[in-house]
């Protein structure tokens, strides 16, 4: 574990700067509920649905199915006849309401303050288009929720599903279950001279969104280009399933895979956990849990793509600089963390201000979570010193599990961190989670862990998840994805 850290790779943003674009939005448009209000409970799952199914309210689809589009919430199981008729008319309603949602989004983009497209970001015009679609989807979801047709979260999941892909000529793809957790396994068809690498992939989406289908193209690319067996894990989602459900599903699926590597032709010495955003959080937590375990093969590496690793400080330099940059806004980061932890977004404002952490714990963790540990080059876009906030004990009681490393891996003790495998960390300049990655990089290197760091100077949060997605791919995202493939090939 005392290997010398690999030199960091940094990539300059191509092309000239473009004028800064700003737009503002009505507060809370993108949130399913306002910060101080409880989420309306989602409709109960149909009888007999497995406990691990993260999409309660969606039409049931066997895990082995490989064709057919995702369905909107089913009304089977005794739903009122009138509601059934409304659901049958939902596609037509979507066509009627979509222009309205688009107009609402356009009005937001043209006339209200709040969102920021920085001058150095990759393809700002395309990012602006992505933001328009995001806002339109949120507005339409709100309309559907107010009409009682489906919740905004359910609609958001439906929209993000994307279209089903056909067969891949280079891959065997099958849907299975590992310890009752749905997974999708990608295996190269080409013959191999020996066992292949094995990759456990945990998708992003703030623990609330995301599925096997939404990351299908990313996983296919990783499997094809690195000649690896990829296992994509469909963990349970919040708010239906709160912490630690997602972590437990990822851990259980990983342990099952480690016990059956020979069946999938995987080399026990080359197993990697990988994830982006919330999935990066889960990959880091699983890696820490398995560190030092002698009853499973040792992980070869962890790949963390713009991971969220702490919920103590939402005012780090990257949060200040990128608070309004798509695809993840400062308020949304806290919203998702609270939804995963508690199933609601109560006390979001207090969490954003930092009133949720006692002074003694803040002092204890300052050695790991502090702007002082961020290199000065990442502060040139401006950082505002913030004074201390008043601690609110009642808020802490509702969020004190934020101090658990399985939820916030940046807070793990050195005795755990120094046992971690070789690591790859990808960060983006225009991302509120940038500093989480930088702080974890420092912790790993301080504990003698070899780290390969790849920084997208023109990247934004979620850029890799848009790879080959409905025409919304970004060249910078493709470079980031290729950096992951190159790291895998080196193992």
Q: Which residues on neighbouring strands pair with residue 22, listed in sequence order?
A: 116
Alpha-helical segments (H) within 404-468: 414-417, 434-446
Cβ 328 vs Cβ 207: under 8 Å: no
Q: What does the CA dihedral 398, 401, 407, 410 come to, rounded to 10 degrees?
A: 120
Burial class (CB in 10 A: 0-12, 13-18, 19+), 96: exposed
Please, how many CA atoms are within 13 Å of residue 430, restricted to the half-sphere of its CB? 24
Cβ 441 vs Cβ 453: under 8 Å: yes
Q: Which residues on neighbouring strands pair with residue 175, listed in sequence order?
A: 184
H/E stretch holding 430: strand 422-430
Cβ 246 vs Cβ 240: under 8 Å: no
Mapping DSSP to helix (H, G, I), strand (E, B) and coil, where does residue 231 land? Answer: strand
H/E stretch holding 457: strand 451-460
Q: Which residues on neighbouring strands pair with residue 456, listed in sequence order?
A: 11, 428
DSSP state of 377: G
Catalytic residue list = 277, 431, 461
């Amino acid at each position: 574990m005392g290997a010398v850290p690999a030199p960091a790779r940094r990539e300059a943003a191509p092309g000239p700067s473009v004028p800064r674009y700003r737009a503002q939005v009505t507060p809370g448009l993108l949130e399913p509920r306002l910060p101080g209000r409880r989420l309306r409970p989602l409709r109960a799952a149909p009888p007999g649905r497995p406990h691990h199914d993260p999409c309660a309210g969606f039409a049931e689809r066997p895990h082995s199915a490989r064709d057919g589009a995702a369905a909107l919430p089913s009304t089977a199981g005794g739903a009122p006849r009138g509601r059934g008729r409304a659901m049958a008319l939902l596609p037509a309603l979507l066509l009627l309401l979509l222009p309205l949602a688009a107009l609402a989004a356009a009005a937001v983009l043209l006339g209200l303050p709040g969102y920021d497209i920085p001058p150095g970001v990759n393809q700002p015009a395309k990012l602006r288009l992505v933001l328009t679609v995001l806002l339109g989807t949120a507005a339409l979801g709100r309309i559907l929720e107010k009409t009682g047709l489906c919740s905004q979260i359910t609609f958001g999941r439906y929209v993000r599903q994307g279209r089903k892909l056909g067969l891949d000529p280079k891959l065997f793809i099958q849907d299975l279950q590992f310890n009752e957790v749905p997974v999708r396994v990608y295996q190269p068809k080409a013959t191999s001279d020996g066992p292949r690498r094995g990759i456990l992939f945990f998708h992003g989406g703030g623990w609330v969104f995301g599925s096997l289908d939404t990351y299908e193209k990313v996983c296919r690319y990783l499997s094809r280009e690195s000649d690896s067996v990829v296992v994509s894990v469909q963990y349970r989602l919040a708010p239906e399933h709160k912490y630690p459900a997602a972590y437990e599903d990822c851990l259980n699926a990983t342990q099952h895979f480690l016990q059956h590597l020979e069946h999938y032709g995987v080399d026990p010495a080359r197993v990697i956990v990988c994830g982006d955003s919330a999935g990066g959080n889960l990959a880091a937590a699983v890696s820490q849990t398995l560190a030092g375990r002698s009853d499973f093969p040792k992980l070869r590496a962890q790949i963390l793509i713009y991971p969220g690793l702490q919920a103590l400080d939402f005012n780090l330099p990257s949060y200040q600089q990128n608070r309004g940059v798509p695809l993840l806004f400062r308020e949304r980061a806290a919203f998702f963390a609270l939804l995963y932890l508690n199933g609601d977004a109560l006390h979001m404002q207090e969490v954003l201000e930092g009133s949720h952490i006692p002074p003694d714990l803040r002092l204890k963790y300052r050695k790991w979570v502090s702007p002082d540990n961020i290199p000065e080059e990442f502060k040139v876009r401006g950082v505002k010193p913030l004074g201390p906030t008043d601690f609110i004990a009642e808020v802490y009681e509702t969020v004190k599990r934020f101090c658990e490393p399985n939820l916030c891996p940046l807070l793990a003790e050195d005795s755990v961190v120094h046992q971690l495998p070789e690591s790859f960390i990808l960060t983006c300049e225009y991302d509120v989670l940038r500093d989480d990655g930088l702080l974890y990089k420092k912790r790993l290197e301080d504990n003698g862990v070899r780290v390969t760091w790849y920084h997208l100077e023109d990247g934004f949060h979620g850029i890799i998840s848009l790879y080959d997605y409905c025409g919304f791919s970004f060249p910078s995202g493709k470079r980031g994805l290729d950096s992951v493939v190159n790291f895998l090939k080196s193992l």
